[in-house]
Amino acid sequence: MTVITNNIPDLLQIELTYACNLNCPFCYNPRRDNKIDILKIDNLVNKISEIGIPHVYLIGGEPTILGVEKINEYINKLSKKSSVVLVTNAYERMENLSDKLAYIGISLHGYNMLSHEKVNNVKGSYNRTLDNIKYYKSIGIRIRCVIVLTGINYNIIDKLILRCILAGADEIFIDRYEDGGIGSKNSSKLGLKPSNDQFREALTKIINVRNMNLISKESISFGTAIPFCVDSRLFEENLLSFCGAGLDFCAVNPDGELRICNQSEHSYGNIFDKDIDEIWNDRNLNSYRDYSWLSEPCKSCKLVDICQAGCRVDANCGDDYCVDYAVRENIDKEILDNIDAINRGELKYVNVENNRLDIDLNNKYLCISDYLKVNEYKDEIYMVTRYQGVNIGQYGYDIISYLLETEIFTLDELYSKFKQFDHNSIQNFINLLLNIEAVYIINKD
């Protein structure tokens, strides 16, 4: 089995700097003391802005250390072709942040001062982060709070999610801790990896908060891969999460070295030396994608092509990639029973997007999102939205180009403009755009 990918990644995480103003023990960052080289970072951003990667994350270390003027320069440059996200600990407030930013990701590590500052080891950081979340919310920036689920905070994860909601988060990603960088050195000593039982206890709490409907259930989800077999409730609660590392996304460090994700230390090439599509389609990367390295119990699982063996990068596993530690180190009866249920077809993966309800769009006005773009890179065409990059053909390109020109439209206009396409095809395409928030219906409310 070999996974087929686009010519370029859908998402690129740019590690602008490894410097940070906090001191979290689970950080993936291996080089916190590296000096900042602005000229090097400028060259990196300039290079990436020319490519037109659909989605770009500005991460670190802590990117806000570079200052709002420099961050705005990068956002404005990259946003001409990409949807740009800033990922920060929000210790520093970025006033007058560019309105070209798609949204901001903010990490919160505790639900009160004690639990937050016990993790990042900086006094006063809790109140500053909360105040800055509220500030960004007040000026209309969409907020995604990011929580790292560990063996330390698994039993307070519900309170942490609630604190994010109360602070104004639009959505919450829960990233299960994985060994990497500084974290890999502290993992055993501090008990950073949640055991499978700890994860299940945390999952119960996560489900309880989702069922409170304070924000939509879909807005509280996992941001990292979780092996499907760890808990059957992942199927039942639509909380399945898989990873696109090396398949849909990758990371690049300040020197231009490309890796499959920010946890990985293995470089597959430098974007200053080769075009990114050359690196992305290199046979060495394809040796990762063919899954020849898979071990049991994942190798014979019927859902391995979707689950992809959970998180495949672990600094303490001894190889460049391996199956997730939950099924490598801690496999238990519940996992084995769930694998049997998967292979018997009793636990099934359902693509929720494919099951969405189509909306009757007749007699409705629609408008494009401010984040809708269309890029061409060599032989491929990409539609860019706030959250997604989609590889489209000439048919989609023609329609989106028209939508970008007209901005407000009706289905009847599209039927008249594109007579070569049948009405059902046009309506289905617009419903797809609605589903990925590329367009929206204009309502009086």
pLDDT in tens, 57-98: 999 999 999 999 999 999 999 999 999 999 999 999 999 999
Q: Amino acid identity, residue 296?
A: E
- Closest C-alpha to 324, from 251, 228, 205: 228
pLDDT for the residue numbered 314: 83
Q: Same structural domain for residues 326 and 404?
A: no
pLDDT tens track for 296-342 = 999 999 999 999 999 998 877 778 889 999 998 878 999 999 999 99
Residue 351 is assigned to a structural domain of this protein: no
Q: Same structural domain for residues 322 and 388?
A: no
Residue 141 is assigned to a structural domain of this protein: yes
Q: Same structural domain for residues 160 and 301?
A: yes
Q: Which of 26-30, 89-93, 314-318, 410-414 has the lowest mean pLDDT?
A: 314-318
Q: Same structural domain for residues 406 and 321?
A: no
Q: Using the structure block, give the residue that is written with the tokens 């859902």.
A: 303
Q: Binning pLDDT at 50, 70 and 90, where does residue 357 land?
A: low
The DSSP bridge partners found for residue 269 are 258
| Rounded CA Rg of the chain | 22
Q: Same structural domain for residues 138 and 268?
A: yes
Residue 227 is assigned to a structural domain of this protein: yes
Last residue of a domain, one of 344, 379, 408: 344
Last residue of a domain, one of 297, 314, 344: 344
pLDDT for the residue numbered 212: 98
Residue 189 is assigned to a structural domain of this protein: yes
Which whole number is the average pLDDT over 227-242? Answer: 97
Q: How many domains does the chain have?
A: 2
Q: What is the CATH number of the domain that holds 376?
A: 3.90.930
**Is residue 108's pLDDT more than 80?**
yes
Q: Which of 27-36, 117-126, 362-371 has the lowest mean pLDDT?
A: 27-36
Q: Same structural domain for residues 322 and 375?
A: no
pLDDT for the residue numbered 426: 93
The answer to whether 8 and 280 have CB atoms below 8 angstroms apart is: yes
Residue 15 is assigned to a structural domain of this protein: yes
Residue 122 is assigned to a structural domain of this protein: yes
Residue 3 is assigned to a structural domain of this protein: no
Which whole number is the average pLDDT over 268-278? Answer: 95
pTM of the full predicted structure?
0.93
Which structural domain range is residue 411 located in?
Answer: 365-442
pLDDT for the residue numbered 352: 64
pLDDT for the residue numbered 377: 87
pLDDT for the residue numbered 267: 93
pLDDT for the residue numbered 286: 82
The DSSP bridge partners found for residue 373 are 384
Distances, alpha carbon 383 to alpha carbons 237, 365, 424, in Å:
30, 21, 21
Which whole number is the average pLDDT over 199-221? Answer: 98
pLDDT for the residue numbered 444: 55
Q: Same structural domain for residues 317 and 429?
A: no
pLDDT for the residue numbered 1: 47
Q: Same structural domain for residues 21 and 163?
A: yes
pLDDT for the residue numbered 361: 85
Q: Same structural domain for residues 410 and 334?
A: no
Q: What is the CATH number of the domain that holds 289?
A: 3.20.20.70
Q: Binning pLDDT at 50, 70 and 90, where does residue 351 land?
A: confident
The answer to whether 187 and 131 have CB atoms below 8 angstroms apart is: no
**Is residue 401's pLDDT more than 60?**
yes
pLDDT for the residue numbered 389: 87
Choose between 429 and 360: higher pLDDT: 429
**Is residue 271's pLDDT more than 80?**
yes
The answer to whether 343 and 228 have CB atoms below 8 angstroms apart is: no
pLDDT for the residue numbered 3: 55
Q: Same structural domain for residues 82 and 206?
A: yes
Q: Same structural domain for residues 435 and 326?
A: no
Residue 356 is assigned to a structural domain of this protein: no
Q: Which of 8-22, 141-155, 351-365 has the lowest mean pLDDT?
A: 351-365
Q: Binning pLDDT at 50, 70 and 90, where does residue 283 land?
A: confident
**Is residue 355's pLDDT more than 50?**
no
pLDDT for the residue numbered 380: 87
Q: Which of 11-25, 29-43, 87-101, 199-213 has the lowest mean pLDDT?
A: 29-43
How far is it, in rounded angstroms, from Cα 64 to Cα 70? Answer: 9
- What mean pLDDT value characterizes the chain? 92
pLDDT tens track for 168-208 = 999 999 999 998 888 888 989 999 999 999 999 999 999 99
Q: Same structural domain for residues 322 and 420?
A: no
Last residue of a domain, one of 344, 373, 404: 344
How far is it, in rounded angstroms, from Cα 420 to Cα 57? Answer: 38
**Euclidean distance between the first and the last CA atom of the chain, given in angstroms as a whole number:** 49
Which whole number is the average pLDDT over 133-153? Answer: 97
